[in-house]
Structure 1
Amino acid sequence: MTTTVSWLDDITMTQLERNPYPIYERLRAEVPLAYVPVLGSYVASTAEICREIATSDDFEAIITKAGGRTFGHPAVIGVNGPIHADLRSMVDPALQPQEVDRWIDDLVRPIARRYLETFEDVGRAELVGQYCEPVSVRALGDLLGLQSVSSDKLRDWFHKLSRSFTNAGVDEDGEFTNPEGFDEGDEAKAEIRAIVDPLIDRWIDHPDDSAISHWLHDGMPDGKTRERDYIYPTLYVYLLGAMQEPGHAMASTLVGLFTRPDQLESVVDEAGLIPRAISEGMRWTSPIWSATARVSTTDVEVAGVALPAGSVVLMSYGSANHDHSVYEAPSEYDLSRPPLPHLAFGAGNHACAGIYFANHVCRIGLEELFDSIPNLERDTDNDVEFWGWGFRGPTSLHVTWEV
């Protein structure tokens, strides 16, 4: 595949990981559906095109090349038809709103309180590492049935899987430019299996209310369970995306609020504004920025671009959420903007299964944080840096307060 726009050939993975926004702003303006050589696929960068492709019968889900190398098959984000239906029937029940409402407060609030107690009397903290990520991974780990795995180990797994999944650079022959970049993901998967295999052995004979136990048993004939190799790719998806999204959405929302002190004060004073603050935070910096893909099942034309059957398109939802045709001043965090829908959770039948769960983990985490430390301020002696193109969030967030 060759490009007709020369500057596309110069895009590097380093640029995308450090700051994808300038590149994607130019893509939206000049070539909103374009083949990007370093990614080895087309990129959809506007809200309209992302929605069109995500909901079109001419496309189906496919896992990115780096994602397939990291997760294996069949991962829920990259399959279709009966397998996708079965995997969604496996993971969806525990994430339905009426089910989440039953246990979410009892699960997340004590976790948030435990982490806050470790630093609320100190007067300073680094919230990504000390609060946002730990609360997120612990909540999901306990839901899955991984109470015996430390939060530090869960965080280590999701960071390793994230770097592996986004190791997407390819050369002109479509070969990975950094094949060693998958080693740490392989290491994480080996550790996961060493810990989870004995748990699966127990759950097969002694099912409980943990999510993985339900994955094994629900919808299966008596005496039968799903094969562990069948559920592991989706477990890896959870141990990356479902852990990353709430933690980084919480952190990005805080960074955004720090840019608008008046809005931060309003949210601290009125907890009912927290869900709206989170929604704007997810639009402003989408945690799953450009990690999902679609493949055309037939020759099709989209936005004036002829796509042959088998064309892979990366869905850049983080870019779509900065589309000037939809949002005024999209690069600014603004709680007062009209509550327009965003694409942080995707669209179509492969939209994120954990929308309700993720939003409520964020809500409870911020409620507890603001209740314990209402005078929170960003430590301006430390910069806030964001990283990532497939997944994106602040790498650290230093804060201070009077005790």
Structure 2
Amino acid sequence: MTATSHDLSWLDDVTMSELERNPYPTYERLRREAPIAYVPVLGSYVASTAEACREVASSPHFEGVITPAGGRTFGHPAIIGVNGDIHAELRGMVEPQLHPSEVDTWVDDLVRPIARDYISKIEDRGHAELVGEYCEPVSVRSLGDLLGLQSVSSDKLREWFHKLNRSFTNAGVDENGEFTNPDGFTPGDEARAEIQAVVDPLIDKWIEQPENTAISHWLHDGMPPGKTREREFIYPTIYVYLLGAMQEPGHGMASTLVGLLGRPDQMEEVVDDASLIPRAVSEGMRWTSPIWSATARISTKAVTIAGVDLPANTPVILSYGSANHDTGKYDAPTEYDLHRPPLPHLAFGAGNHACAGIYYANQVMRIGLEELFEAIPNLERDTREGVEFWGWGFRGPTSLHCTWEV
């Protein structure tokens, strides 16, 4: 099945805890030895190079599929794992509110007051843990308000996406394809039950009295007069938003900060010139891709990718975080470098299942960093505390302790 001459038996020893802690060494070796390879602990083939990821994501011989752990977490039909008419309806449901021309009309008024509110809680203190006190809260509050969940606290939104994250990435399987940690889905089950308890009454209200919230639009837009979409149809995509769409801007912002703080000269450039923030964010997203390895495709016919023959109905996990460290595309990819030539990256995916919220996410990160650097231009990392990154499916810093003079 494979054209590689390398002995890949070492993959039998790869563990989920190893991938969650630091997937880079495993994927660096995969890029070198087998850009398409079967990883037993994942129960799936993975694509690890930029070329292989793009080829699979854009191939007419592959379609979207959700990973087993993702399917167990979100249910069906989640927008990231369906195709054909269902995928077209779900994309048509969510995309109008996320079109750049539409986002430009409201994103500043939505995000900037939220960012300023969280800055006001920390700026006179002279220190903060910015992942938990700024980046994640700005991200979840912005999306929560967009969805219509103003009644849900930011702490609860953060709790939901962390629980869904743990469930979605509980991907380890045994030789029979059975989950090795079935209890790992309990946090996601708890979050879904809480989400439904909150959202069901809102849906009841929005069915009768539509409002200008994303979920209300999902119920009504494109439907015949007097008809709404069934809540069971949109709930899996609500869960997708409450995980990936909340996680990505917060952790993209945090990773960008870690990168800049490790390059003080580049940090100074960005603080002095806010027009550099989008470039800084793009490099941060490449350097540590928030959606690191959470999407997959499945072959619709026998196909050969990177010299590997894959039968029909073979799932392949797209490891975009690995692709963005491909030395065939990037010089010194493990380094954060604001001045790297602006090559395209894969942090938002590719093909017809690429992230629908690319523009929105970038604007949240831009505005969040604009406000932070305007209010606290002398930000420094507190070197008494380390910075640890975590995650294989979704990845970002677990904390970022900073100080500044007030």
In the other structure, the counterpart of 1:197 is: 200
1:384-403 CA distance string (max 9 Å, x none): 00000000000000000000
CA distance in 2, matches of 1:122, 1:301: 57
In the other structure, the counterpart of 1:378 is: 381
Q: How many residues align?
A: 403
Q: For residue 212 of structure 1, what is the amino acid of its counterpart?
A: I
1:112-135 CA distance string (max 9 Å, x none): 000000010000000000000000
Q: For residue 288 of structure 1, what is the amino acid of its counterpart?
A: I
TM-superposed CA distance for 1:5, in Å, is: 1.3
In the other structure, the counterpart of 1:348 is: 351
Q: For residue 45 of structure 2, what is the amino acid of its counterpart?
A: Y
TM-superposed CA distance for 1:177, in Å, is: 0.1
In the other structure, the counterpart of 1:391 is: 394
Q: For residue 337 of structure 2, what is the amino acid of its counterpart?
A: D
- The correspondence for 1:326, drawn from 324, 329, 344, is 329
Residue 173 in 1 paired to residue 206 in 2? Answer: no
CA distance in 2, matches of 1:304, 1:73: 33
- The correspondence for 2:212, drawn from 191, 209, 213, is 209
Does the residue aligned with 2:235 lie in a helix, a strand or coil?
A: helix
1:22-51 CA distance string (max 9 Å, x none): 110000001110000000000100000000
- The correspondence for 1:185, drawn from 171, 183, 188, is 188
Residues 278-297 of structure 1 mapped to structure 2, 5 A cutoff: 278-297=281-300
In the other structure, the counterpart of 1:312 is: 315
Residue 230 in 1 paired to residue 233 in 2? Answer: yes
In the other structure, the counterpart of 1:303 is: 306
CA distance in 2, matches of 1:340, 1:317: 15
CA distance in 1, matches of 2:275, 2:378: 18
Does the residue aligned with 1:125 lie in a helix, a strand or coil?
A: strand
1:215-274 CA distance string (max 9 Å, x none): 000000000000000000000000000000000000000000011100000000000000
CA distance in 2, matches of 1:169, 1:238: 23
CA distance in 1, matches of 2:53, 2:34: 13
Residue 272 in 1 paired to residue 260 in 2? Answer: no
CA distance in 2, matches of 1:5, 1:269: 49
Q: For residue 317 of structure 1, what is the amino acid of its counterpart?
A: Y
CA distance in 1, matches of 2:118, 2:8: 50
1:307-338 CA distance string (max 9 Å, x none): 01111100000000000000000000000110
- The correspondence for 1:5, drawn from 5, 8, 23, is 8
C-alpha RMSD over aligned residues = 1.0
In the other structure, the counterpart of 1:69 is: 72
Q: For residue 384 of structure 2, what is the amino acid of its counterpart?
A: D
Residue 81 in 1 paired to residue 84 in 2? Answer: yes
Q: How does the TM-score come out when normalised to structure 1?
A: 0.99
1:337-377 CA distance string (max 9 Å, x none): 10000000000000000000000000000000000000000
Q: For residue 129 of structure 1, what is the amino acid of its counterpart?
A: G
Does the residue aligned with 1:353 lie in a helix, a strand or coil?
A: coil
Q: For residue 68 of structure 2, what is the amino acid of its counterpart?
A: K
Does the residue aligned with 1:294 lie in a helix, a strand or coil?
A: strand
Does the residue aligned with 1:287 lie in a helix, a strand or coil?
A: coil
CA distance in 2, matches of 1:288, 1:148: 27
CA distance in 1, matches of 2:109, 2:261: 29
Residue 220 in 1 paired to residue 241 in 2? Answer: no
CA distance in 1, matches of 2:7, 2:182: 28
CA distance in 2, matches of 1:310, 1:115: 47
CA distance in 2, matches of 1:393, 1:281: 10
Moved over 2 A (4+): 1-4
CA distance in 2, matches of 1:55, 1:119: 44
Residue 39 in 1 paired to residue 39 in 2? Answer: no
Does the residue aligned with 2:108 lie in a helix, a strand or coil?
A: helix
1:85-113 CA distance string (max 9 Å, x none): 00000000000000000000000000000
Residue 51 in 1 paired to residue 54 in 2? Answer: yes
Does the residue aligned with 2:316 lie in a helix, a strand or coil?
A: strand
Does the residue aligned with 2:289 lie in a helix, a strand or coil?
A: coil
Does the residue aligned with 1:290 lie in a helix, a strand or coil?
A: coil
Residue 366 in 1 paired to residue 369 in 2? Answer: yes
CA distance in 1, matches of 2:394, 2:191: 18
Q: For residue 70 of structure 1, what is the amino acid of its counterpart?
A: T
Query: Which 5+ residue runs of structure 2 have no aligned equivalent?
Result: none
Q: For residue 184 of structure 1, what is the amino acid of its counterpart?
A: P
In the other structure, the counterpart of 1:114 is: 117
CA distance in 1, matches of 2:151, 2:89: 28
